[in-house]
């Protein structure tokens, strides 16, 4: 076996570029320096006057979180793969002899961002980048929510009652180690399989209800470019419709139409949209114990053609990046879902830029 030389590494990187290195495309398309002011403000590193090893660059650490989110990696696996993969090292600007952040350093950086509630500012920072590139929110917006799984908790009925009431169970209060591993914000809910029509056109009277534990990701995307513009994280049992009145609508969209499924149809939501100048395209519900009128069926079918575009966002996040909550608590879950939303917008931005370049 011949001795490895500098040009061998360069040739291997050139070969990776030829095969289509997604991270290299990210580096060429996304200006990660725009995140620096918010990152440095959030992590608040010392000035080094007290000595000690200097901290890793904040932008480099954020790019590690992007790698983590793209590949659904744990902190330990992230450390290993940065040391192992040339494509990861090139994306981070690291050489073979450079120091690589370990798993604990990655955890601490993400934790600092989480405690500083920086993810909303980072999301808004990239949204501003999209707008400056010409991707303004246009043609109306589409709202929906998806369930995001978290590790299941095994609690007694009494403990569940306390958690739903916002109390810490008495047995946990003097056990800090146990308390730190208990997720007090995630909730159980039922996920229905949405029974399909039978061969004769009728819908079965019963449906499968699957217990689900975790959180819920609520988003509003623009119809034109399908970027996530507004988002919110709640427990899995939270109502979809109520989130519409909690800042989920984007008032900067150039069109006023709002598409959503029947979960968002309520008098309070309709009144709120009318008050703020939005035009409701929300699906209408089927009357109880009565057949759905034909004209409403046709109207809902037309709305579904547009509304279904939001499903592509969730499918991308779950199939491409394996969206899953590994952490404990809604603050960390918000950080995880926020990162997934930023990375989705980055991938969408990359796709649209390539589309425009080839046109």
* Confidence at residue 315, expressed as pLDDT on a 0 to 100 scale: 93
pLDDT at residue 106 greater than cutoff 90 = yes
- The pLDDT, as a whole number, for residue 354 is 92
- Beta strands (DSSP E) in the chain are 141-149, 187-192, 209-222, 228-235, 257-260, 279-282
Residue 6: what pLDDT?
55
Which tokens go with 153?
């908790």
pLDDT of the residue at 55: 85
Task: Look at 58-72, 138-152, 193-207 and tell me which has the smallest mean pLDDT.
Answer: 193-207
Q: What percent of the chain has pLDDT over 70?
A: 91
The larger pLDDT score, comparing residue 163 to residue 219, is at: 219
Which domains are seen in the chain, by residue range?
A: 7-116 (no CATH), 137-150+186-358 (3.30.420.10)
* Residue 29 C-beta-side C-alpha neighbours within 13 Å: 23
How much is the average pLDDT of 40-61?
78
CB neighbours of residue 82 within 10 Å: 21
The two structure tokens encoding residue 340? 């997934």
User: pLDDT per residue over 262-295, tens digit each?
Assistant: 999 999 999 999 999 999 999 998 888 788 889 8
- Confidence at residue 49, expressed as pLDDT on a 0 to 100 scale: 58
143 strand-pairing partners: 220
pLDDT at residue 258, rounded to an integer: 97
Residue 56 CB coordination number (10 Å): 18
Stronger pLDDT, 210 or 257, i.e. the higher one: 257
Whole-number Å distance between alpha carbons of 122 and 342: 8
* CB contact at 8 A, 195 and 206: yes
Nearby residues of 310 by Cβ (< 8 Å), 6 or more positions away: 142, 143, 144, 219, 221
CA distances from 79 to 21, 67, 96, 294 (A): 20, 11, 14, 58
Name the strand (E) or helix (H) holding 77.
Answer: helix 75-84
- What are the DSSP calls for 64-115, one per residue? HHHHHHHHT--HHHHHHHHHH-HHHHHHHT--TTS----HHHHHHHHHHHHH
Answer positive or negative: Cα dihedral of 113, 215, 126, 78.
positive
Sign of CA dihedral 105, 110, 115, 117: positive
pLDDT at 120: 96
| CA–CA dist 326, 336 (Å, integer) | 9
Nearest partner of 265 among 282, 278, 288, judged by Cα: 282
Give the residue-averaged pLDDT of 327-346. Answer: 95
Average pLDDT estimate for 18-28: 87
DSSP 8-state code for residue 1: -
Beta bridge partners of 215: 148, 235
| Cβ-Cβ contacts under 8 Å for 196 (sequence gap 6 or more) | 203
């Amino acid at each position: 076996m011949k001795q490895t030389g500098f040009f061998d590494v360069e040739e291997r990187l050139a070969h990776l570029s030829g095969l289509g290195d997604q991270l290299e495309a990210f580096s060429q398309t996304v200006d990660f320096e725009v995140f620096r002011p918010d990152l440095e403000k959030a992590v608040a590193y010392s000035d080094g006057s007290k000595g000690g090893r200097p901290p890793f660059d904040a932008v480099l650490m954020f790019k590690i979180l992007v790698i983590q989110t793209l590949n659904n990696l744990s902190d330990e696996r992230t450390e290993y793969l940065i040391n192992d993969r040339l494509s990861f090292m090139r994306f981070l600007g690291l050489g073979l002899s450079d120091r690589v952040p370990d798993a604990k350093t990655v955890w601490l950086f993400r934790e600092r961002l989480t405690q500083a509630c920086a993810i909303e500012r980072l999301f808004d920072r990239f949204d501003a980048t999209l707008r400056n590139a010409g991707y303004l929110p246009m043609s109306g917006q589409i709202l929906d929510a998806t369930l995001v799984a978290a590790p299941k908790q095994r609690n007694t009925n009494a403990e569940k009652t306390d958690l739903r009431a916002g109390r810490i169970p008495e047995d946990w209060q003097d056990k800090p180690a146990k308390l730190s591993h208990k997720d007090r914000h995630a909730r159980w809910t039922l996920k229905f399989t949405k029974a399909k029509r039978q061969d004769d056109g009728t819908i079965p009277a019963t449906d499968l209800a699957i217990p689900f534990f975790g959180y819920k990701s609520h988003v509003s995307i623009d119809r034109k470019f399908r970027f996530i513009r507004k988002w919110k994280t709640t427990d899995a049992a939270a109502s979809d419709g109520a989130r519409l009145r909690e800042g989920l609508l984007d008032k900067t969209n150039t069109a006023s139409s709002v598409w959503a499924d029947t979960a968002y149809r309520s008098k309070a939501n309709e009144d709120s949209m009318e008050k703020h100048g939005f035009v409701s395209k929300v699906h209408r519900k089927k009357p109880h114990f009565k057949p759905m009128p034909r004209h409403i069926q046709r109207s809902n079918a037309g709305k579904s053609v547009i509304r279904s575009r939001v499903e592509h966002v969730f499918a991308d996040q779950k199939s491409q990046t394996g969206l899953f909550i590994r952490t404990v608590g809604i603050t960390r879950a918000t950080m995880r879902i926020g990162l997934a939303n930023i990375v989705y917008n980055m991938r969408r931005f990359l796709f649209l830029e390539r589309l425009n370049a080839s046109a």
